Amino acid sequence: MTVSGHQYSLNSQGVEVALQGALPEPILEHFVVISGRRWPPKQVLALVTGLDRADFTTHHARRVLTRLGFPAGRAAARRRRHVAAAETVAPPPSAASGAGKRVVPLAEALRPFTGLWVAVRGDEVLVAASSPKEVVGWLAQHRQRAQSMFRVVDTEQAITSAAPQ
């Protein structure tokens, strides 16, 4: 693909690898769904290519990423009026960009975040990271407030062992 006059050989696995260890920034309007998380398209393309975000538009980044097979969508109008959350719980790819959106139960939607610490507001996962310090740092950096923060347990055994007997 050509981005800002530079040739790149991109594939979906390479994009996923490039995002490991990074946290999504707040979604202002457009997003792409990668590994169950919503990401701003410009952030993704900048991380993958090393280009400055000023070198391409959101629409170009979105087009490149959808050609690689990542579903794309827009934040709800109510969220665009207010600063949006870093990531909302991503619906299945078939519902991410069109009509017939399906509501995903929060417990099921948390599955991609197994083993991670999450900050949640309503039915939105604001951020997911490997430590509570990273979550709190992200919330402070992006001036976001969460209703709760917790670790999504790794196994069924961890769930049942935490329950009162």
Q: What's the whole-number average pLDDT of the chain?
A: 80
Q: Is the pTM of this model over 0.85?
A: no
Residue 145 per-residue DSSP state? -
Q: For 95-132, how does the pLDDT look when each residue is reduced to its tens digit (9 = 90+)?
A: 444 444 556 666 777 888 888 898 988 877 888 888 99
pLDDT of residue 85: 38
Coil, strand, or helix at residue 38? Answer: strand
Tokens representing 102 are: 């399906």
Tokens representing 74 are: 């827009």
Q: For 55-107, how does the pLDDT look when each residue is reduced to its tens digit (9 = 90+)?
A: 999 999 999 999 999 999 998 754 443 333 334 444 444 444 444 455 666 67
